[in-house]
Structure 1
Amino acid sequence: MTTTAVTPDVAHNARPYLYGGEEAAVASALSAGQYNHGALTDEFEQRVAGLLGVPDVVAVASGTAAIHIGLLAAGVGPWHEVLVPSFTFCATVQAILATGAQPRFVEVNPGTGCVEPAGILAALTPRTRAVLPVLYGGRAVDLTPARPALDEEGVTVVEDAAQAFGSWQGDRRVGATGVVTCFSFGPIKNLTCGLGGAIVPRTPLEADTCRRLRGLGIVESAAHRAEATTYTVDGFGMRVQMSPLNAAIGLVQLQHFAEAETRRRELWRAYAAALDGANGVALVDADVPHTVPALCAIRVLNNRRDRIFRKLRQDRVGVGVHYPPNHLQPAFAAWHRPLPVTERLGQEIMTLPFHQHLTPADAEYVAGMIRQALAGANR
């Protein structure tokens, strides 16, 4: 295996990927002069709903805003608990706190990075109002075995699908499985709007609630307000609409999403093949036949992650750590619970360079550098 010919792109853990039409689309949106919410945002919502096979989608300013609004629309508020894996980006937990609720951290399967039904049911308390599974790396989380008990207790499933746009659960796309689903369209996601997010609501009433929450609690649409002398504010709301400037980028990206699916799966499989049999690492299973992978993660075993991480960074291989456990963070110390599986995973996890600028040859190069680093650590 060669470890000499490689593009500089392996120095990046993740990079946005543009197809070429985004700049012209943004310029056109700029010329239109409507930057808060407009027809392009509406079109983006409709196009995403069509791809997912759902009746409606509500676009917002970020994935974090999507989770915040999704939880509020599900009735989560002060004194409630939300079950959430500690193994996630801190934005997931901050969105819970923004509702006034509290996180109750739960373990994940170290082989997938995702929660499982039995762990969710074991963590339920009388204060649990929602479960917030995180679809780590884009892998769908099927809580079907737990749903009867959750429904009986009035507990809503709100998915953090920030990394899972386009993935499948069975024969349906993530977002079309009957739960509140929250996507991110940030810079390095499977589909980028520059910044942005979206909520898939369960009912028309929930969709209306999400739209009011994203738009300062105003009942009437922007188009209606332009023709009226007044408007109605009927409750709490924030200013977290998706700008048409961001929607313009997303609409171009949607035209090429089939390519994103193919190339991301190809790159993940190239890593899996190149790392097959490597001693001292274990690939986190993304269930790639059903997943549009947002990342490729490995576990570096035998307490060698930090040493391998430093060596690869010195060699300009853009590895990362996604994620340090949240229950160990100072900001969330009040909700600490012993989570030995997550704590071990947090010490082992390492993410590899993963973006659409890379080729299978780049994956082979990175795998070769990992093998070299492991061999050096054994000496």
Structure 2
Amino acid sequence: MTITARLDVGRNASPFLFGEEAAAVAEVLESGQYGHTDVTEEFERRIAAFLGVRDAVAVMSGTAALHTALLAAKVGPGHEVVVPSMTFCATVQAILAVGATPVFVDVDPATLCVTDQLVMDAVTDRTRAVMPVLFGGRAIDLSRIRPELAARDIATMEDAAHAFGSRNGARRVGATGDLTCFSFGPIKNLTCGQGGVVIPRGHAEAATIRRMRMLGVVQSQAERAQTTRYCVEGFGLRYQMSGINAAIGLAQLPHFEKTAATRRGLWRAYRRALASLDGVTLVDVDPDRSVPHLCQVRTPHRDKVHARMKARGIGVGVHYPPNHLQPAFAEWRRDLPATEQVGRELLTLPFHQHLAEADIDQVVTALGQALKTVGAASCARS
């Protein structure tokens, strides 16, 4: 079986462009204004309109979005943040960046997401925020516990890096009233090349985040150009999104419904192809409501299957090694049996918009062959 370039080892995920991004970037370059400009502000307006929210604040990355959201919610030293271990390490690093303590929780093995009970079991008098991760694009409904969290002055802050365009009921993720953070990195469902957005809970919070992303400076770049002074009102970082990155996002956004339909179709094609395959379990992302970001299976022979798929030139991966087992976070390690079991079994299959259904058939055929080889070897040893 000849493996196409679309499935090669380096393309477990891959950026997808529609052909208009280069011209949009060229226009910004020709303007001579490369930093935070009116292009960035237009991107914010368009994102807010797409999501059905009043405000969106663009920053330079998804990690910057998480960091500034935590700061805006006044999370800091002495506070705890409830967070699943099953996430990219950026989620945890943002918590540490504000001096707070991550309290790792388990996930539902079927969805890789937290549940109401898992969150509430971890809440203490020191909890200042809970940070559910919308893993693989799957929306999480924490509406039943949100009133209790709010009554205890605990912010709900969604890490929606995987979930732009997904829905929670009738509303898109970001429009549920919680602080929400998106990532628009190279392989996300919508890309800016690099970038992120925070959806604030109100005007005051939006103003705070806008000030922080500009080093604490109150005046805009245009306003500073008209005076000999500017005012720094508080702590801030250089986190603003450039017009170059915003231009890429603006070129992508009109095509998003096509993106969503393509990714849902590919995920469903995987589901059909995997249905007759023994030895693997597909992780559900609820494609009717979600825009899938990953396609993952669980197998008890993950490491051996991973090696055999790589040897065939197929770009499988692992998303993610549990954070509570990472050396950098060992101080906060606790027993999370479901996460640890899933962490040993997860295998991410190639999933991006360059794929065709014939590629998916190739992946699943190779996966079946790898499972048979591993199973035969196990039987021979026993």
Does the TM-score normalized on the shorter chain lie above 0.5? yes
How far has the Cα of 1:278 moved from its partner? 1.3
How far has the Cα of 1:6 moved from its partner? 5.3
Deviations, residues 91-130 of structure 1 (Å, cap 9, x unaligned): 0000000011010000000110000001000011111000
Alignment of 1:214-293 (within 5 A): 214-293=213-292
Which residue does 1:14 correspond to in 2?
Answer: 13
Separation of aligned partners in 2, 1:23 and 1:275: 38
Separation of aligned partners in 1, 2:21 and 2:4: 24
Partner SS for 1:288: coil
Separation of aligned partners in 1, 2:136 and 2:69: 21
Which residue does 2:374 correspond to in 1?
Answer: 377
Separation of aligned partners in 1, 2:354 and 2:331: 41
Q: Pick from 312, 315, 318: which aligns with 1:318?
A: 315
Separation of aligned partners in 2, 1:87 and 1:326: 7
Contact 1:6–1:361 (Cα < 8 Å) also in 2: no
Contact 1:162–1:182 (Cα < 8 Å) also in 2: yes
Amino acid of the structure 2 residue aligned with 1:375: K
Separation of aligned partners in 1, 2:65 and 2:312: 38
Q: Pick from 321, 326, 346: which aligns with 1:329?
A: 326
**What RMSD, in angstroms, separates the aligned Cα atoms of the two structures?**
0.9
Q: How many pairs are equivalent?
A: 374
Separation of aligned partners in 1, 2:241 and 2:119: 33
- The answer to whether 1:59 aligns with 2:35 is no
Amino acid of the structure 1 residue aligned with 2:197: A
Separation of aligned partners in 2, 1:146 and 1:278: 38
Contact 1:282–1:298 (Cα < 8 Å) also in 2: yes
How far has the Cα of 1:229 moved from its partner? 2.1
Partner SS for 2:35: coil
Separation of aligned partners in 1, 2:106 and 2:32: 48
How far has the Cα of 1:228 moved from its partner? 2.1
* Identity within the alignment, %: 57
Amino acid of the structure 2 residue aligned with 1:53: G
- The answer to whether 1:104 aligns with 2:110 is no
Separation of aligned partners in 1, 2:298 and 2:214: 42
How far has the Cα of 1:5 moved from its partner? 6.2
How far has the Cα of 1:152 moved from its partner? 1.7
Which residue does 1:368 correspond to in 2?
Answer: 365
The runs of 5 or more residues in structure 2 that have no matched partner are 377-382
- The answer to whether 1:353 aligns with 2:350 is yes
Partner SS for 2:249: helix
Deviations, residues 175-227 of structure 1 (Å, cap 9, x unaligned): 00000000000000000000000000010000000001111001112222122
How far has the Cα of 1:236 moved from its partner? 0.2
The runs of 5 or more residues in structure 1 that have no matched partner are none
Partner SS for 1:232: coil
Structure 1 length normalisation: TM-score? 0.97
Which residue does 2:78 correspond to in 1?
Answer: 79
How far has the Cα of 1:358 moved from its partner? 0.4
Structure 2 length normalisation: TM-score? 0.97
Separation of aligned partners in 2, 1:362 and 1:295: 16
Separation of aligned partners in 1, 2:121 and 2:23: 52
Amino acid of the structure 1 residue aligned with 2:65: A
Separation of aligned partners in 2, 1:166 and 1:311: 34
How far has the Cα of 1:151 moved from its partner? 1.3
Alignment of 1:129-278 (within 5 A): 129-278=128-277
